[in-house]
């Protein structure tokens, strides 16, 4: 597991934030049986009716978001990876990104009906700095959990471990260092990116940049869909600091941009 000191305070802070939200109880009639509060659903319902157009200002590393749309915590074939992150309001995006991601998952309901994807951190409600990320500031950035295989078969075993998922460590061939029966499903990762870009174009967007650990790209591009991904021209970051590079083995970061 990666030893990254700045992640540990994040785990504590977000856990506290989530606990604060979960401790809130709705007002109820004293004669009615106590209903179990569902803070996640309550949060989603709070923003579900916001139909005002989204405005992404500035850049992914210095920007803001107005009228961002909150992802559902869970859908038919996807789940947001961590409840405390969700309750800390880190699952907002521009409406066009929101539609792109959900329509991509919708396509996979038929293509891969029994697989559950993991959606990770996006942007704050109003954008701006979202610690510890350097980007994610204007609603156009999304982290996606790398799909996994266990002994060659699709696995969702780590979809709900929460924030520690960012600390999972995969070697240069995409094998999980703490249990080598798990490895990254590079073909599905490539297929997901291609479908994301297809859906993005329908929403006036395109993928501007993908950040994935540089050593993993050869394995990615060697697969059936990886070859199509390489031919697509979707840009992958080619130079990353050692820290940023090491952090992007368990997930891939996608920046979208508007198509003029």
3-state secondary structure 221-258: HCCHHHHHHHHHCCCECCCCCHHHHHHCCCEEEEEEEE
Two tokens at 109? 């309901």
The answer, yes or no, to whether residue 250 has pLDDT greater than 70, is: yes
Report the CATH number that the domain containing residue 60 is assigned in CATH.
Answer: 3.30.1380.10
Amino acid 18: pLDDT: 42
Share of the chain above pLDDT 90, in %: 83
Amino acid 134: pLDDT: 86
- Asked whether residue 4 is domain-assigned, the answer is no
| Structural domain of 106 | 40-258
127-171 pLDDT, tens digit per residue, is: 999 888 889 999 999 999 999 999 999 999 999 999 999 999 999
18-72 pLDDT, tens digit per residue, is: 443 444 444 455 556 666 789 999 999 999 999 999 999 999 999 999 999 999 9
Average pLDDT, stretch 67-92? 97
- Asked whether residue 86 is domain-assigned, the answer is yes
Prediction pTM value:
0.88
Whole-angstrom distance, CA of residue 193 vs CA of residue 156: 19
Whole-angstrom distance, CA of residue 29 vs CA of residue 51: 32
Closest CA to 142 of 155, 133, 153: 133
Whole-angstrom distance, CA of residue 69 vs CA of residue 91: 8
SS3 at position 135 = coil
Please report which confidence band the pLDDT of residue 3 belongs to, taking 50, 70 and 90 as the band edges.
Answer: low
- Asked whether residue 15 is domain-assigned, the answer is no
């Amino acid at each position: 597991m990666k030893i990254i000191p700045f992640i540990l305070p994040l785990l504590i802070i977000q856990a506290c934030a989530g606990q604060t939200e979960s401790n809130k109880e709705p007002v109820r009639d004293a004669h009615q049986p106590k209903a179990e509060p569902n803070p996640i659903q309550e949060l989603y319902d709070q923003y579900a009716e916001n139909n005002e157009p989204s405005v992404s200002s500035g850049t992914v590393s210095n920007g803001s978001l107005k009228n961002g749309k909150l992802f559902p915590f869970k859908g038919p074939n996807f789940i947001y990876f961590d409840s405390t992150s969700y309750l800390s309001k880190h699952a907002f995006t521009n409406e066009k990104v929101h539609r792109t991601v959900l329509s991509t998952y919708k396509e996979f309901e038929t293509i891969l009906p029994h697989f559950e994807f993991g959606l990770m951190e996006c942007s704050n409600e109003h954008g701006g700095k979202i610690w510890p990320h350097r980007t994610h500031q204007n609603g156009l950035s999304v982290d996606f959990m790398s799909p996994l295989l266990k002994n060659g078969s699709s696995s969702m075993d780590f979809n709900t471990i929460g924030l520690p998922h960012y600390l999972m460590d995969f070697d240069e061939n995409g094998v999980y260092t703490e249990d080598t029966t798990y490895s990254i499903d590079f073909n599905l990762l490539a297929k997901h990116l291609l479908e994301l870009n297809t859906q993005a174009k329908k929403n006036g967007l395109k993928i501007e940049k993908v950040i994935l650990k540089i050593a993993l790209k050869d394995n990615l591009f060697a697969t059936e869909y990886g070859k199509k991904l390489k031919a697509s021209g979707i840009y992958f970051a080619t130079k990353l600091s050692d820290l940023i590079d090491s952090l992007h083995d368990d997930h891939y970061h996608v920046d979208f941009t508007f198509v003029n």
